[in-house]
Structure 1
Amino acid sequence: MAEIKIPAETRTEFGKGAARRIRRDDKVPAVLYGGGSDPVHVTLPGHALMMALKNSNALLTIDLGDDHHLAIPKQVQRDPIRGFIEHADLLIVKKGQKVTVDITVTLVGEAFPGTMVVHENTTISIEAEATHIPDGLELSIEGLKAGTQLHASDIELPKGTELAVDPEILVVNITNAPTEAELEAELEDAEAEAGIERDESDDEAAAAEGEAAAESSDDE
């Protein structure tokens, strides 16, 4: 993983008012901590940080004047509506240091026809060197049949990387795809639980009218 350099400025103002002023200037308040040193409060350019954090495990070089800190994102707060970064906690790391991070697992290939793929865990925790964090992990489901289960231990990890979770954690479960009738029954049950009443379809209305006419004829 390539290092991404981001210029930083020392932050001396704190509180909600100061944070709002920082964000108005398209900057982000952040904290650097770890590495055996006191936390360092900084401001970072908003756009540059947003682009860098498109990968949630980006390796950042924070340039703070004559000081340079190697860091990875630990916690990122985003505006729930507009999505911009409100605050970032960055963990200072050293080359060769091992860190635990969550990595996205991407499924590749197509399972056997007529099956349904349930991706139980889309991320897996691994331990890797801070400068060699993989961008992602892949797991093949090519040709797998119903009843097959894949666990964390089935993921091929890059050299120097280890699982940081139980190897038996379920990642993928292959089941038989539900039939149209089963889906319709599930939908009806869900609607009934929610108190939703369906309007009669034209076919159902016609069938009901036919039954009523037949009953009337029998009565006569």
Structure 2
Amino acid sequence: MKTITIEGQLRSEFGKKATRQLRSEDKVPCVIYGGAETVNFSAPSKSFKALVYTADFQLAEIKLGSKSYKCVLKDMQFDVVTDELTHVDFLELVEDKTVNVTLPIKLVGQSAGVKAGGKLVSKMKALKVKALPKNLVENIEVNIENLELNGNIRVEDVKIEGIEITNSPRIPIASVVMTRQLRQEEASAEKDAKKK
């Protein structure tokens, strides 16, 4: 799994004045929680680009002096006017402690319904899951080869060992719908059949 390394410095000063000073130096205040201790640090804003501005699920390795923390991005805040990153929360990965994360969906295979002239409609981009850190994956592959015309693949159809999907089971992930052209072809075929 892809891991982004972020090098930061521990924070010793807190409050609005200290936070403003950090942001004026183009640094982002951050926190790591979920492990043995809560760690407050700051890092240059450019070091977050590969982690924040992507749809991919990635791990973050936070290096603070001699210590290193394996984390996942949990939350981020942006300035409402400038859209600049203003704060980042990380959840430390602890070997025997389950984490709740959102993993992107990757549709694989060619649907039977698409081969028959239908159009594939992706209804979800990601799934909420609960898993141990060792079971986390970059994305959840959903095989759509058996997806027929006017059919759906739902959350309940996806099973991954070691990962519990927490979304509602009846929500559709993808479906194949009839295209306008296919409907017109079927309607004209029905008219021709009635004439005979």
TM-score band, normalised by shorter chain: 0.7 to 0.9
The structural deviation recorded for 1:136 is: 1.0
Q: What RMSD in Å do the two structures reach over aligned CA positions?
A: 3.0
Pick from 98, 116, 119: which aligns with 2:119?
A: 116
Pick from 170, 173, 181: which aligns with 2:172?
A: 170
Residue equivalent to 2:41: 42
Match runs of 1:5-84 below 5 Å: 5-37=5-37, 39-53=38-52, 54=54, 57-79=57-79, 84=84
Q: Which amino acid aligns with 2:167?
A: V
8 A contact 1:72–1:93 mirrored in 2: yes
Which moved further from structure 2: 25-34 or 77-86?
77-86
SS at match of 1:114: coil
8 A contact 1:101–1:125 mirrored in 2: yes
Bigger relative contact order, structure 1 or 2 (CA pairs below 8 A, ≥6 apart): 2
8 A contact 2:147–2:153 mirrored in 1: no
Distance 1:166 1:176 in 2: 26
The structural deviation recorded for 1:4 is: 3.5
The structural deviation recorded for 1:15 is: 4.2
* Greater C-alpha radius of gyration: 1
Residue equivalent to 1:155: 158
Deviation by residue 1:148-191 (Cα, 9 ceiling, x = unmatched): 1101133352x4223223333221122212359x9xxxxxxxxx
Aligned length: 180
8 A contact 2:56–2:104 mirrored in 1: no
Distance 1:96 1:58 in 2: 19
8 A contact 1:57–1:101 mirrored in 2: no
Distance 1:71 1:148 in 2: 38
Distance 2:85 2:134 in 1: 24
Distance 1:71 1:171 in 2: 28
SS at match of 1:97: coil
Aligned sequence identity (%): 26
Which moved further from structure 2: 71-80 or 53-62?
53-62
The structural deviation recorded for 1:57 is: 3.7
Q: Which stretches in structure 1 are left out of the alignment for 5+ residues? A: 183-220
Q: Which amino acid aligns with 1:86?
A: T
The structural deviation recorded for 1:73 is: 0.9
Q: Structure 1 pair 6/131, CA: closer, same or farther in 2 (3 Å)? A: farther
SS at match of 2:94: coil
8 A contact 1:9–1:42 mirrored in 2: yes
